[in-house]
Structure 1
Amino acid sequence: MSDNENGDEMVTKPFKFVTAGMTPPELPQRPARFDARFPNQNQTKHCWQNYVDYHKCIIAKGEDFAPCRQFMLAYKSLCPSGWTNRWDDQREAGNFPVNLNQ
């Protein structure tokens, strides 16, 4: 019994997943986002820690240090702008609750 009308035997080949020519290192890095699967996960600590880590990183390494950017992207996507504005004001006034120079 043949597999098709011409009598040729059909061969099944493995499927190769194609990502539009992009290899994993070339894929764009995305900041942390809200995940609807976890509605009860409080992101306040995550927001705060990324804000503090970003400012500690730029003080220690400078604003041109590329890994610091990931902290910035994360806190900007997680934190309400009102919080970051208040924290920026506190840093400028010298009454921010964390010593960023350590």
Structure 2
Amino acid sequence: MSEDIKTNIRNHHTVPFDSRFLHQNQTCNCWQNHLDFHHCEKAMNKRCGIVSFCQWYKRIFKSPCPLSWVNLG
């Protein structure tokens, strides 16, 4: 049973609470997380070339954004 909970937590696709974005309109949240993802990706490419560390940011920014805004492969 505990493995199922751990798996669910790992695969959870909802954005965690962020006190910077208190209102229902999550446009700013979407944009900020999008920027965070690309900054992480750029920094990791410069440092070590391993961008898998940035997957959390990618998942978080794709969640509140409408699908028509998200254009990632």
- Settle same-fold status: TM greater than 0.5: yes
Structure-1-length-normalised TM-score: 0.45
- Normalized per residue, the structure richer in helix is 2
For these two proteins, the number of residue pairs brought into alignment is 61
Structure of greater Rg:
1
CA deviation vs aligned residue, 1:39-68 (integer Å, no higher than 9, x gap)? x61111110011000000000013634441
**In the alignment, which residue of structure 1 is the partner of 2:18?**
none
- Offset at residue 28 of structure 1 (A): 1.6
**In the alignment, which residue of structure 2 is the partner of 1:44?**
27
User: Would you identify which runs of 4 or more consecutive aligned residues in structure 1 move more than 2 Å?
Assistant: 21-27, 62-67, 81-85
**In the alignment, which residue of structure 2 is the partner of 1:71?**
57
Instruction: Provide the alpha-carbon RMSD of the alignment.
Output: 2.9
Q: Which has the higher contact order (CA 8 A, sep 6+)?
A: 2
Any gaps of 5 or more consecutive residues in structure 2?
16-22
**In the alignment, which residue of structure 2 is the partner of 1:5?**
none
Moved more, 65-74 or 46-55: 65-74
| Percent identity of paired positions between Structure 1 and Structure 2 | 31
Moved more, 61-70 or 42-51: 61-70
Q: Confirm or deny: 8 A CA contact 1:50 1:74 kept in the other structure.
A: yes
